[in-house]
Structure 1
């Protein structure tokens, strides 16, 4: 995830190297929450299920194997089609990109236990509460400035 220019000064000079060490050294190029592989296109169903092609199984949002689920090829073969009408797609494809996330949302805290390699899905899910808090704070700030400079 790109760093906003106004927050660049919060990160250490060697952030790229530190981020690469976390993503590829410690995590082995996989998301530390759901095990999605970096740089690959994956198939996923509408929920949290995604197809791990390296071990040929479905995984849930926490990276655990899902039992008794057919492979994508078997699902496509079993999908009924109407006469001459193509059925809606069963799967979506997503390109996975890993980023290093601060678990406590403090970019100045670069201890290894505070950093995690997360795919974009897990990163957004992890940051959702913080994003809501910041949206509320920004809206509150805009309203306060509007009240301060309101011409009556």
Structure 2
């Protein structure tokens, strides 16, 4: 993920080399949480839960579905993505616009597990795909959105005429 200009100061000068080493030498070009390969297009089901599992994606190499943690899913639970799309069109033709599974191009990013960009210890860095990275940063992103909303609301209140 690109680094914001305001945050660039917190990263070391050799961050691109460090990030590359984590993503491709240590992780082998795969997400360290779910196992999705970098730059591959995979079928995924997004937030749809199947048998209590979310984040399902199709692993072409194994011809099997995997859960969001990278574990193989039982073959009996879901057919291959092409068959799944055909079943959806057959049984729910009105929902073709919201069809799933969808294709996703996987992009790996180097992530700080403790959210501190100055802590570049190998144990604090992880190679995560965009889905896992967003999930990891969910609480931080929510707090940032709330703070920004409060700031905007406060600025709007300051512009109101005083009665």
TM-score class, shorter? 0.7 to 0.9
Q: Structure 2-normalised TM-score? A: 0.79
Correspondent of 1:49 among 48, 53, 56: 56
Partner of 1:12: 12
Contact 2:85 / 2:101 at 8 angstroms: preserved in 1?
A: no
What RMSD, in angstroms, separates the aligned Cα atoms of the two structures? 2.7
Between the two proteins, the alignment pairs up a number of residues equal to 150
Q: Is the contact made by 1:81 and 1:87 (CA closer than 8 Å) also made in structure 2? A: no
Q: Which residue of 1 aligns with 2:148?
A: 138
Deviation at 1:142, TM superposition (A): 4.9
Residue by residue, what CA displacement relative to the aligned partner does 1:105-135 show, whole Å, maximum 9, x if unpaired? 1111111111110100110111010011122
How far does residue 55 in structure 1 lie from its aligned partner after superposition? 1.4
Flag the 1:17–1:86 CA change in 2: closer, same or farther, 3 A: same
CA distance in 1, matches of 2:17, 2:87: 47
Matched with 2:36 is: 36
Residue pairs, 1:52-131, within 5 angstroms: 52-68=59-75, 69-76=78-85, 81=90, 88=96, 89-131=99-141
Displacement of 1:139 after TM fit?
3.7
Gaps of 5+ in 1: none
Say if 1:98 and 1:119, in contact at 8 Å, map to a contact too: yes
TM-score, normalising length from structure 1?
Answer: 0.84
What are the ranges of 5 or more consecutive residues in structure 2 without an aligned counterpart?
49-54
Alpha-carbon distance change, 72 to 142 in structure 1, aligned in 2, over 3 angstroms: closer
Question: 2:30 is paired with a residue of what secondary structure?
Answer: coil
